[in-house]
Amino acid sequence: MEDVNSSFLNGYISDSFQLVEGDSKTYKIVTYQQEHKEEYTIYEMQNDKENGVAQHFDCGVIRYSWEMEDGKRCGYVTTYEKGKAHHKFLLKELENGEYRVLENCKMGLRMTIRNETGAVRFYGMCDESMRKNGYGVEYDVVTGKPLFCGVFRDDVQTHVFQEFHEDGTMTEYENGEASNLPLLKRIPIYIGGYSFSESDLYVRDGKGSLIDPLTGFASKECTWRNGVMVDSVSLRNGWYCYPDETISLRGSVFRKKPVSTSLHVSAMTKNVTTLVIPNDYDNASIQCLHFSDYTNLTSLTIGDDCLSHVTQVQIVAMETLRSVKIGRRSFSSKKALTRPRDIDAVKEAELWIEDCPCLKKLRIGALSFMEYESVRIENLLSLSEIRIGESETSNCFFSCRQLLIQSFPLLKRVVVGDGCFCRTPVALVGNCPVLQSIYLGRYSFEGTKDGAVSKESNLVLLNLPELRTFVASLNNFIYTKKVVIEDTPNVETIDFSFTSFSNVTEINENNGGKLGSRIRMRHPNL
């Protein structure tokens, strides 16, 4: 920014100028002497004065573009490097103190806010009006260190996702839907080292601990390299080996869950490698199902019509687990099965599948988890396929709050059956570098009508460079309001019904290829 200020081009000695006619306008071309003899400036003219756009060229390559009004500079200034847009800023802001600079990035629009001394106060995502919109980082203008990373909407902060400490560590919080600005709304999931990433701002790097969102205890000590976990040691209530059974008071206060245990684990059964729960197995006393005691498990199969009273399923930190298959009509009540359209996430129920580094395939049968309001599928480094539901009425996770599929390095295929996530307002698929196909059944991801819930319905697709197929069926994304597609340029096979995306009010697209174009065609004025 050293050469970008209100006095750019000052000190240039004019050589001559000429007026030329072109495109029904008059233009003034100014050339210069001495070391600037290879440069020239073109001005739009009106009423014998510079009015409109002005552009400066060096050997015919653009360097600056700005606005003129009655011979005076005004409005926005854009700088270029080797013909490529570099910065854009509002001239009067630069002259008056704190100013905003728009940067041209491959990942989308980024903005820096600097104070009168040039120190950075903010860096992050923005809209074309240079308002903070999306992820961004606030900085200490004295030390230059980050303070927190959060989400902003129309210049107003709505969430804090990362908080940075003086000892060089950060705390990362769960990406919930409701604002977590109040302290008691923040759910920590990681604390440890970090590093800067051009695409993701700040990522886990170095030593750190995964934090159980429910209890606040560390569940795993890990080593990270640029956002990827390379080593880990499991913990129990924060201990390496001592079986401290202290109950988390935070868990008791904020998530009052039944204390019923899972299946009985004896000394004989805890070391099994294959576990099968047979069809029609149910027990009203079992409301929480945790599999962490099966330390050598490689295969987990749950049959049809099982465990209708369970409200919490955790498949977490299982180092050897390779496959999970859940049958039909399991973890769903009889009421949900007989009246599926009346489902409104009546259970405060959740499925967690995370930190299983060898898990390759996840399959969930039709009509299972119908009333569950939360599903977490995270940190499965080997996962190649997710299949939820079947090509018939499935209704899995019918009114789930959101589906987040992100940062799966080996995931290639996502299949969602008919009616699954029907009333789920938020769907995000991001940072899956080898994902090739997404298949969505009928009536999945319809979204929510205005007024049905307090949040909008959004579809977000981010950084999916190998995605080739996006197939939806009937009535997908009917009530979706906002669509974001970034760095997903290679989709060739596209199929969705004429009703899909019919209520979109905002489209943010950057390198969205044919998929972005197809959706935008339905709303050409957006």
193 lies in some domain:
no
Instruction: Say yes or no to pLDDT of 151 above 60.
Output: yes
- For residue 282, what are the contacts with CB-CB under 8 A and spacing of at least 6? 305, 306, 307, 308, 309
pTM: 0.52
Residue 374 sits in the same domain as residue 444 = no
Q: What does the mean pLDDT of the chain come to?
A: 84
Please give the pLDDT value at position 435: 95
Residue 413 sits in the same domain as residue 505 = yes
Please give the pLDDT value at position 5: 42
141 lies in some domain:
no
Expressed as residue numbers, the domain containing 79 is 14-96
| Range 410-428 burial, b when 16+ CB lie within 10 A, else e | ebeebbbbbbbbbbbbbbb
Residue type, 203: V
Name all contacts of 169-177 with Cβ < 8 Å and 24+ positions apart.
169/193, 169/194, 169/208, 170/146, 170/194, 170/202, 172/204, 174/213, 175/404, 177/401, 177/402, 177/426, 177/455
Residue 373 sits in the same domain as residue 463 = no
Q: Phi and psi for 249 in degrees, rounded to 5?
A: -70, -35
Residue 353 sits in the same domain as residue 307 = yes
Instruction: Say yes or no to pLDDT of 270 above 70.
Output: no
Domain ends where: 96, 126, 142?
A: 96
Residue 375 sits in the same domain as residue 431 = no
Contact between residue 11 and residue 18 where contact means Cβ atoms under 8 Å apart: no
Domain ends where: 74, 96, 118?
A: 96
- Measure the CA–CA gap between 125 and 120, rounded to whole angstroms: 14
Contact between residue 426 and residue 453 where contact means Cβ atoms under 8 Å apart: no
Residue 456 sits in the same domain as residue 508 = yes
Please give the pLDDT value at position 363: 95
Please give the pLDDT value at position 256: 47
As a whole-number percent, the residues of the chain with pLDDT over 70 amount to: 88
Please give the pLDDT value at position 6: 46
Count of domains in the chain?
A: 3
Domain ends where: 96, 115, 135?
A: 96
Q: Which of 264-268, 516-520, 522-526 has the lowest mean pLDDT?
A: 264-268
Residue 294 sits in the same domain as residue 379 = yes
256 lies in some domain:
no
Please give the pLDDT value at position 451: 38
Residue 377 sits in the same domain as residue 407 = no
184 lies in some domain:
no
Please name which of 19, 85, 87, 31 lies closest in space to residue 58, comparing C-alpha atoms: 31
372 lies in some domain:
yes
Residue 446 sits in the same domain as residue 507 = yes
Q: Phi and psi for 132 in degrees, rounded to 5?
A: -65, 120
Instruction: Say yes or no to pLDDT of 453 above 50.
Output: no
Instruction: Say yes or no to pLDDT of 238 above 70.
Output: yes
163 lies in some domain:
no
Q: What is the DSSP letter of 26?
A: E
Residue 365 sits in the same domain as residue 318 = yes
Q: Residue 275's beta-bridge partner residues?
A: 300
- Measure the CA–CA gap between 299 and 293, rounded to whole angstroms: 14
DSSP reduced 3-state for 113: strand
Residue 428 sits in the same domain as residue 516 = yes
Please name which of 202, 201, 184 lies closest in space to residue 192, comparing C-alpha atoms: 202
| Mean pLDDT on 460-468 | 94
Residue 455 sits in the same domain as residue 508 = yes
Encode pLDDT of 139-150 as tens digits: 999 999 999 998
227 lies in some domain:
no
Encode pLDDT of 322-373 as tens digits: 999 999 999 998 888 876 655 554 557 889 898 899 999 899 999 999 989 8
Handedness of CA 501, 435, 494, 475 (dihedral sign): negative
- Measure the CA–CA gap between 327 and 302, rounded to whole angstroms: 6
As a whole-number percent, the residues of the chain with pLDDT over 90 amount to: 36
The vertex-473 CA angle with 467 and 479, nearest 5°, equals: 95
Instruction: Say yes or no to pLDDT of 255 above 80.
Output: no
Encode pLDDT of 88-138 as tens digits: 888 777 666 788 888 887 767 788 998 888 889 999 888 888 889 888 899
Handedness of CA 194, 429, 435, 393 (dihedral sign): positive
265 lies in some domain:
no
